[in-house]
Amino acid sequence: MGKPTGFLEYEREEAGKRPVAERIKDYDEFVTGRDAEALRIQGARCMDCGVPYCHAGFVVEGLSIGCPLCNLIPEVNDLVYRGDYEEAYKRLSKTHPFPEFTGRVCPALCEGSCTLGEHALPVTIKEIERFVGDEMLRRGPEPQPPLLRTGKRVAVVGSGPAGLACAELLNRLGHGVTVFERADRPGGLLMYGIPNMKLDKSLVLARVALMEEEGVQFVLSSEVGGDYPVSALMRDFDAAVLCAGATRERPLDVPGRELDGVVSAVRFLTAATKNLLDGTRDAGAKAAVAAGKDVIVVGGGDTGTDCVATAIRQGAKSVTQLEIMPKPPAERTAENPWPLWPKVHKTDYGQQEAIALFGADPREYLTTVQEIVGTNGRVSGVKTVRVEWSAQDGRPAPRALAGTEKLRPAQLVLTAMGFTGPERALIDRLGLRTDARGNVATEGDSHRSSLLSVFAAGDMRRGPGLVVWGIAEGRRAARACGEYLSSV
C-alpha cells in the first residue's frame, strides 16, 4: 500500500468524455484517456483493505461480488501509484489477458464491491485497468510464444471474449490452437456486437495480431458445422472448445413484427460497424438506416443503449427506448447491500447523448409493445401500453394497464431484448446434451460436454453474460482442456 491515507486525501475523478456535439459526428471512442499522474493519484485511493472483495469473483443470489477473473486489484493499484506500469501489467496478466477490452466495456463489477465504495465513491479500478493495458500496447509488447510445444491440436470455435481467452491460454500451455470464426473479422461480440465508440476495433485486431505472432491460427469466414464439417473437427483435432456464444435473440412476438423496418439490434450494430470498417473513419451515409427516422429501440440494456447511440450518429430524427421493467432506485436498497453489485439507476453514454440532443431521457419504463403497424409493408408506428408488475402463478409478470395505449410514429424499430441461448445447429450436429435453458451441458465446473474431447465456455455454456465472464469462462475451459490433453 503506497499511500495509507490516499483514500482520505483524494476524491474519485473519472475519465473525461468528449463533448456530445463533437462525438456524435463520428464513431471514435467517446471516453478520453488521462495522463499517468492522474491515474497514480486514483491508484493511491486504494485502501489495501484487510478483506478486499473487489477480486472475490463469486456470485451470491444471482449477483456478482467482485471481479470474475479474480484480478489482483490492490496490488495493481499500488504498482500504478508507484509508477511501475510494466510490473502492474505483469501482475494483471497473471489473471487477465485483455485489460484493454474490459477497461472499456466492463460495467466494473470490481468497483461495485470496492470496500471504499461502502461509504464513499469507489476506486476507479476500471480506468486504471484500461490505462495499464493501453500503456503496454503503446510500448509494443513482445510476443511470448511457448518455449515447448506438446504436439496436441485444439480447435476453438468462436473468437469472442471466451474464445480469445481460451485460445490465448491454451497456446501458452504449448498446444497448437486454431480459432474458427464464421464472420469476416475476428473478435465476435468484441468486433460486431459492441460499437466502435466504446471499443475501437484496432485494439481487437492488435491483440489478435499479437496472438498470431505467438502461434495461434485464425480461420475466418468458416462456420464449424456448416462449410467446415464437424467430422473434420473431430478428425483433425485432439480436442475442441466451443465458444460460439448465445446468439439466439429473444423475438418481439407481436403483430407486425414481419414488417420492413423491424430490425434486430445485432443486424443493425453489425451493419454499422462493417460499414465503418469497410469504408472510412467517419463513414455512415451508406448504411445510415436511421437517418431522418423516428427510431424506437425495444430493450433497456447495454445493447439497447448502443442502438440509441448508433442511431443518433446516423442522424435519427428522434429516438425512444422502451423498457418493460421499472426504473431502478437511485441508491442501494436494503435488499441490495454492499458488496453485491449495485442495482441502481444509471445514465449511460447513449442516453446522455439523447438528452443533450433531444432534451429528454429516451427511456420509458414500464412500457411494452402491443403491435407494430405499417403502410405498404413498411413500419409506420408502434402501439405501446404501460404495464404494472404483479404476481401471477407465484411469479412476477407484467399486466397491461387499460387506458394507457399509445400510438407512436416510427419508421425503424430495433429489437434489443437480449438473447435466449446458443444456436442449435452445431450442438445438434455434435449430438451434445443441453441443460434446461438450451445451453451446452457440462460436468460440474469441468467445462467438459457429453462428448469426451469437446468442452464449452462462455455464453454457450453459462448463458448470456458480460465480456468479463466470457473471458473468465474461456480461461477455465482452457485449463480443463489442458488437463484432459495431458492425460491422453
Q: What is the pLDDT of residues 352-373, one digit of tens each?
A: 999 999 999 999 999 999 999 9
Is the pLDDT reported for residue 436 higher than 70?
A: yes
Q: What is the pTM of this model?
A: 0.95
383/392 Cα distance (integer angstroms): 24
Decide the pairing of beta strands 239-242 and 419-421.
unpaired
Domain 6-139 has CATH 1.10.1060.10: yes
242: closest CA among 488, 476, 458? 458
Specify the CATH number for 251-417; select among 3.40.50.720, 3.50.50.60, 2.60.40.1120, 3.30.565.10: 3.50.50.60
Q: If you average pLDDT over residues 94-104, what whole number do you get?
A: 97
37/276 Cα distance (integer angstroms): 34
Q: If you average pLDDT over residues 108-119, what whole number do you get?
A: 94
83/321 Cα distance (integer angstroms): 43
The region of weakest confidence among 46-55, 69-78, 409-418 is: 46-55
Kindly indicate the confidence band of residue 34, based on its pLDDT and cuts at 50, 70 and 90. confident
pLDDT of residue 392: 83
243/470 Cα distance (integer angstroms): 9
Kindly indicate the confidence band of residue 284, based on its pLDDT and cuts at 50, 70 and 90. very low
Angstrom CA distances, 397 to 96, 255, 372, 385, 388, stand at 39, 20, 22, 15, 8
Share of residues in the chain with pLDDT > 70 (%) = 98
CB 384 within 8 A of CB 410: no
Please give the mean pLDDT across all residues of the chain: 94
The label of the residue with cell 404495464 reads: 387
Q: If you average pLDDT over residues 215-234, what whole number do you get?
A: 96
The Cβ of residue 442 has, within 10 Å, a number of other Cβ atoms equal to: 22
Q: If you average pLDDT over residues 106-135, what whole number do you get?
A: 95
Q: If you average pLDDT over residues 134-147, what whole number do you get?
A: 91
Domain 153-247+420-486: top CATH class: alpha beta
Kindly indicate the confidence band of residue 47, based on its pLDDT and cuts at 50, 70 and 90. confident
456-482 pLDDT tens trace: 999 999 999 999 999 999 999 999 999
Q: If you average pLDDT over residues 248-263, what whole number do you get?
A: 95
Give the residues across from 375 on adjacent strands. Answer: 378
Is the pLDDT reported for residue 151 higher than 60?
A: yes
pLDDT of residue 281: 43
Is the pLDDT reported for residue 279 higher than 60?
A: yes
Q: If you average pLDDT over residues 106-121, what whole number do you get?
A: 94
449-462 pLDDT tens trace: 999 999 999 999 99
Give the cell for residue 100.
484493454
Which residue spans of the chain are classified as CATH 1.10.1060.10? 6-139
3-state DSSP call for residue 407? strand
Per-residue buried b or exposed e for 458-479, using 16+ beta carbons within 10 Å of the residue's own CB: bbbbbbbbbbbbbbbbbbbbbe
166-193 pLDDT tens trace: 999 999 999 999 999 999 999 999 999 9
Which residue spans of the chain are classified as CATH 3.50.50.60? 153-247+420-486, 251-417
Share of residues in the chain with pLDDT > 90 (%) = 89
pLDDT of residue 393: 81
pLDDT of residue 182: 97
Is the pLDDT reported for residue 290 higher than 90?
A: yes
198/17 Cα distance (integer angstroms): 11
Angstrom CA distances, 368 to 35, 59, 82, 345, stand at 44, 30, 52, 19
Cβ partners under 8 Å of residue 119, min gap 6: none
Q: If you average pLDDT over residues 295-312, what whole number do you get?
A: 97
109/100 Cα distance (integer angstroms): 16
pLDDT of residue 147: 94
